[in-house]
Structure 1
Amino acid sequence: MAQQTYLPDSRIKWTIHANSSPIWPSDPDTSIIREIAASALGMPADSLSVRFLDDGANHKVYDISQTNNSPTSVAYLFRVAVPVDPVYKMESEMATLEFLRQKSTIPVPRPIAWNSSATNPLGYEWALLEKVPGVELEDVWLKVPWEKKVDIVESIASYLGQIWSLDLRFSKIGSLYRTTFVDHERSDDTSPPATPTEPSSMSMSRADAAFKEGFKIGPVVDGIFSSHRRRYLESDRGPYTSCSSWLRALIRIEKEYIRTGKLLIEEQQTMEKQEDADDLANEIGLYTDDNPDAMLDTCDGYMRALPLVFPPPDPSRLGEARFVLQHRDLRAANIIVDPETFNITGIIDWENTCSVPEWEGLNYPLLINEMDPFTPRPSESDVAALKEEGNMPEDRLHILRFQWSLWEKQDLREVFDRKLEQLGFSKDWRPNSPEDDLKSDFIGGVSDLSDSWESSADGLREIKARAQLSPNASPPSKL
C-alpha cells in the first residue's frame, strides 16, 4: 500500500502552520545528556549541570556547565536533533564548523563530540559544542549605535569574503563532510566509518581526531529532500557537477512528492475508514484546492525549460572550483555579540550549509537584505522623535520605525559593498545580470512546485518568455 511506503507508522509528524516544524516523538532525558557530556569531556557526571535552553525547528538545545562555578570553567551546548535527516545533517554540520575553524577566521562554535546515529542511550543524534559567549544581535540591535553597526557589517563582509574567495571554492554542489565519511558512502563496504575508540554505550566521534583526513563535498543537506514525506522518497542528493544536474534533482523530488501524494489521496478514498480531510491533507501535503495533474504538468514544464536556462555543462569546466559555501540563514538571531561592546563573538546555525553557484550564493546577509526604501529618508527631527517614542502616536511610530530601518539597512548595504571592494571584490560583486536573475527566478519557481504551484506555473510562463533570447543575445553560460 502507498501509505505504508510513503507515510510509514514510524514517520516524523509535522505541525500545521505556515512555518511547519517536526514534532518530537519524546523529550530527551537530561540525566542521559549529563552522562554523555561527562563521558565526552572526561569529567564526573556529578560535576556537570544540564539546563534546557531553547527549542529550535530541528534541535533542542541544553546548557552544560560545571557545578563548581570556577572562573576558568568552559560552558558548553548540547544539541539534540530530531531525526528529520538522519546522519547526513549532523555529519555535515560538524564538518562545516570544523572546516570554517581551520580555513577561516569566522568565529563559529567548536565541536567537541557528536553522534550521528540515534542508536545510543539518548535515542537521538546529538552534538556537544563549546558555547559561544554573548547574546543574539537581534535582542540588542535597537541599542547598537551606528558606528558599531558599521563595524558589525564590515566584519560580516570580511567573513563572507573569505568563504567566497577562490581559495575556498569547490568543484561540486553539495555539503561538506569528513573525507572518510564520503568515501565510505561511495564504497560497497557495509561497515560504519572508522571512528576513534570510545565507550561503546556512547558511540561518539571526537572533533580532535575525526577531521585529520580532511574534508570533502558529498550529498547535499537541504530540507527539500527531507521535510515532511520527502524523507521517504527516492532522490538524487548529489554531489552535483553542474547546475543542470542539481536543478534536475530538485524538480524530480518535487514531482515525486506530488505524484505519491496523488496516490495516497486515491488510496485513502478506497479505504473504509477515512481520516479527517484536514489532517490527511497536512500529512500528504496536497489540499482540496490543489490540482495534482496540473502540478505534475508544471513539473514537466520546468524540466523541459531547464536546458533553456541551464544548458548541459561544458565538460572542460566540470573540474573548476566555482561553487561557494552559503550560510542560508545569516540573520540577526544567528549573530552573537558581546552585550557591552557589540563585537561579534560568533556566527551560528550552519546547518544546511552547502556549496552553490555564485548567482545563488553571493548576496547580502539577511541581516541587511531588505527592500529598498519607498519614501523619503526620515528627517533628523523624525529620528529624534523615534528615539523618544513617547511623543508620537503608535501607528505613526510603527511606520516611521519601519521606514527608518529600510534606509538604515540600505546605508549598511553600501558599507558592505565598500568593504568587499577593499577586500578585492569587484564593485559589481553581486550577480544581477538578466541571466543571473533568470536563474534565480527558475530555482524560486522550482521551490514553489508543491507549496505554491499556481505561482510556480505563472513563473514558468514568464521564465520561458524571457529564456527565448533574441538572435543577438548571449546564450546562458554552461554552469
Structure 2
Amino acid sequence: MAASSPRPNPMKWTGDRNARKGLWSTDPLDPMDDTIDDINFLALKHLVHELPDQPPQAGKCLVKFHRQSDFKRLYTISYLGHPIRYLFSMALPLVPYYKTASEVAVHFYLRENTTIPVARLIAADSSAKNRLGFEWKLSEYIEGETAENVWLTMPWKSRFEFVAALAPLLGQLRDHKFDRIGSLYFRGAEGQYGLAECNEDGRYTYMVGQLLQPSFHFHRRLFLPGHRGSFGDSSEWMRAEIDFQMRWIETGPAVQTSENRGDFDDEDWDSDFDEMVPKMKELCRRYQDVLPRILNTADSPSSYVLHHHDLSLANIIVDPITFKIEAITGWEMIHVVPEWKASRFPKFLENLNSAEVLTLRCFFDEALGLTRNELSFPGYDSSSAQTRRELEEGVMDLTQHPGSARDGLDWVYTNLIRPP
C-alpha cells in the first residue's frame, strides 16, 4: 500500500535542490536530550539473551553518539565485561515504514542467500510510534575502517587484492533473479513493524514490493496517489515514474495557496516553478512519446537483480592492517532492477578517465571469471542498455533538473531515433 496523508511530510529539509539535507530538531550532544536513555532501555531489552548478566544492568550499558548523516544518527553500545559492541541507528522518516522494512529484509536476504558480509541485525522497528519517536535498527558493530579512509595508504598490491575479493561478492547479486522490479520486503509482513516471523525451517520468504525511489517519495511526492510498484517490466516502471513527475507538476501550484503552506519546503514548489510548468509538462509528454521506441523489447523473464547503487569506498569496511573486507554497508533503499540498470562495477570504479580505475576494472573482471561473451551481454554495456539508462536518468531529472532531462532526450533523438 502506498503512503498517503492529507498533510505534508513532517520532516523538514535544508539546502537547495542540488544538496538536500534532512534537518534534525535536536543536538545529539545536548545533555538535556533523553535519547541516550531511551536507546539504553531498548538495547537492554533486545540484547537480554546476549549479555552476561541476567537480568542486564543498566549501569553497565554505555551508549555513545557515534556520527550523523543527513538522515541517520548512529550510536555505539558497549556493555561492561562483554566483548561485542553494537550499533544503534535511528532514521528520519524519509519514507515512513517502507525504507526501514526494506532495509531489514535486504539484510536478512543477503545473510541467508549470499556470502556478502553484512552486519548481524538483532532488532528493528519500522514504526516511529515508540518511546524513541524514530524508526530504528540494532545490529552488531563491525570493527574496522572504511576503505575510503585507508585508500590513499593502501599499497597497489593490496588494492588489486581488494578489488579481486570484492568482485565475486558483488557477482552473487546477479546470481539471484527476481521476476519483478521494486524493493525487497518480507512476504506477508505488511503492517508488522519488528522483525518478521521465519518459516519452520528457520528461513524467511521475500517479495518485491513498492519501489523506494526519489521520483515516488521525495518531498510532496510521498503523499501523491499513484502506482509505486512493484512493476512487471521496464516499460511499466518508466511510465509510472513519468506519471508521478507529471502529477507533481500538476499539483504544485496548489501548494502556493494551501492553508498549511508553511509546512511545505520552499524548494518543493516556489514561484519560479509556475513559469516552468508548461515546459516541464511538454518535456514529460516528449518522454512519454519516446518511451515505446526505446523500451520496444520485453525484458527477459526473471531478469531483475538486487543492485547496490551506492557502493562507494565509504560503504566498504576493511581491516585497517590487512585490508580484508569485513562488511559492505549502505543497503538502505536498494532496488531490484533490470540488468540494464545494474552496472557490474561498483561506484568507485565508474570513472573511465582514470588509468587506475581502468586497471582495477580488469582485475575486477578477471576475478569474476567472466568470458568475452559474458562481458558483452546486453545486460551490461550494450548500446541498448546505455540508452535505457540515459532515458531513466532523464526521467529522474524531469522536475529537479529539466535542463539535463532535455539534453538527455535530445541525445536520444540525435543518436538513436534519426529521421528516415
Q: TM-score, length-normalised on structure 2? A: 0.87
Structure 1 position 59, deviation (Å): 1.1
Residue type of the alignment partner of 1:41: L
Q: Which secondary structure state, in structure 1, belongs to the residue aligned with residue 84 of structure 2? A: coil
Residue type of the alignment partner of 2:15: I
Structure 1 position 66, deviation (Å): 1.0
Q: Are 2:313 and 2:348, in contact at CA under 8 Å, matched by a contact in 1?
A: yes
Are 2:158 and 1:148 aligned? yes
The equivalent position to 1:180 in structure 2, one of 172, 188, 198, is 188
Are 2:398 and 1:407 aligned? no
Q: Which secondary structure state, in structure 2, belongs to the residue aligned with residue 336 of structure 1? A: strand
The equivalent position to 1:126 in structure 2, one of 136, 145, 148, is 136
Q: Which has the larger radius of gyration?
A: 1
- Cα distance in 2 between the residues matched to 1:171 and 1:16: 38
The answer for the alignment partner of 1:376 in structure 2 is none
The answer for the alignment partner of 2:53 in structure 1 is none
The answer for the alignment partner of 2:74 in structure 1 is 61
- Cα distance in 1 between the residues matched to 2:338 and 2:280: 27
Structure 1 position 258, deviation (Å): 1.8
Flag as ranges the 4+ runs of structure 1 deviating above 6 A: 206-211
- Cα distance in 2 between the residues matched to 1:287 and 1:16: 17
Are 2:63 and 1:50 aligned? yes
Structure 1 position 469, deviation (Å): 6.3
CA distances 1:120-158 after superposition (whole Å, capped 9, x unpaired)? 111111100111110111111011011110111112211
The answer for the alignment partner of 2:39 in structure 1 is 33
The equivalent position to 2:387 in structure 1, one of 435, 438, 463, is 438
Q: Are 1:79 and 1:128, in contact at CA under 8 Å, matched by a contact in 2?
A: yes
The worse-fitting range, judged by mean Cα deviation, of 86-95 and 451-460 is: 451-460
Structure 1 position 25, deviation (Å): 4.0
CA distances 1:367-397 after superposition (whole Å, capped 9, x unpaired)? 221132xxxxxxxxxxxxxxxxxxxxxxxxx
Pairs within 5 Å for 1:377-396: none
Going from structure 1 to structure 2, the CA distance change for 1:206 and 1:440 (only over 3 Å counts) comes to closer
The answer for the alignment partner of 1:294 in structure 2 is 279
The answer for the alignment partner of 1:354 in structure 2 is 335
Pairs within 5 Å for 1:334-353: 334-353=315-334
CA distances 1:95-117 after superposition (whole Å, capped 9, x unpaired)? 10111111111101111000111
Structure 1 position 433, deviation (Å): 2.0
Q: Are 2:38 and 2:132, in contact at CA under 8 Å, matched by a contact in 1?
A: yes
Are 2:404 and 1:464 aligned? no
Going from structure 1 to structure 2, the CA distance change for 1:274 and 1:60 (only over 3 Å counts) comes to closer
Going from structure 1 to structure 2, the CA distance change for 1:418 and 1:428 (only over 3 Å counts) comes to farther
- Cα distance in 2 between the residues matched to 1:425 and 1:45: 59
The answer for the alignment partner of 1:365 in structure 2 is 346
Residue type of the alignment partner of 2:117: P
RMSD across aligned C-alpha pairs, in angstroms? 2.8
- Cα distance in 2 between the residues matched to 1:12 and 1:274: 14
Q: Are 1:12 and 1:25, in contact at CA under 8 Å, matched by a contact in 2?
A: no
- Cα distance in 1 between the residues matched to 2:70 and 2:79: 27
Are 2:401 and 1:420 aligned? no
Going from structure 1 to structure 2, the CA distance change for 1:135 and 1:244 (only over 3 Å counts) comes to same
The equivalent position to 1:255 in structure 2, one of 215, 227, 246, is 246
- Cα distance in 2 between the residues matched to 1:255 and 1:358: 27
Q: Percent identity?
A: 31
Q: Which secondary structure state, in structure 1, belongs to the residue aligned with residue 355 of structure 2? A: helix
- Cα distance in 2 between the residues matched to 1:242 and 1:422: 27
- Cα distance in 1 between the residues matched to 2:196 and 2:59: 22
Structure 1 position 312, deviation (Å): 7.2
Q: Are 1:328 and 1:352, in contact at CA under 8 Å, matched by a contact in 2?
A: no
- Cα distance in 1 between the residues matched to 2:339 and 2:161: 25
Structure 1 position 248, deviation (Å): 1.0
Q: TM-score, length-normalised on structure 1? A: 0.77
The answer for the alignment partner of 2:21 in structure 1 is 21
Q: Are 1:83 and 1:125, in contact at CA under 8 Å, matched by a contact in 2?
A: yes
Structure 1 position 224, deviation (Å): 2.5
The answer for the alignment partner of 2:30 in structure 1 is none
Structure 1 position 470, deviation (Å): 8.2
The worse-fitting range, judged by mean Cα deviation, of 457-466 and 124-133 is: 457-466
Structure 1 position 293, deviation (Å): 1.2
Residue type of the alignment partner of 1:38: L
Q: Which secondary structure state, in structure 1, belongs to the residue aligned with residue 272 of structure 2? A: coil
Residue type of the alignment partner of 2:20: S
Residue type of the alignment partner of 1:414: C
CA distances 1:222-273 after superposition (whole Å, capped 9, x unpaired)? 23222222212123111111000111111111112222223323x27xx9x9
Going from structure 1 to structure 2, the CA distance change for 1:418 and 1:91 (only over 3 Å counts) comes to same
Going from structure 1 to structure 2, the CA distance change for 1:209 and 1:287 (only over 3 Å counts) comes to farther
Q: Are 2:12 and 2:22, in contact at CA under 8 Å, matched by a contact in 1?
A: yes
- Cα distance in 2 between the residues matched to 1:6 and 1:413: 49
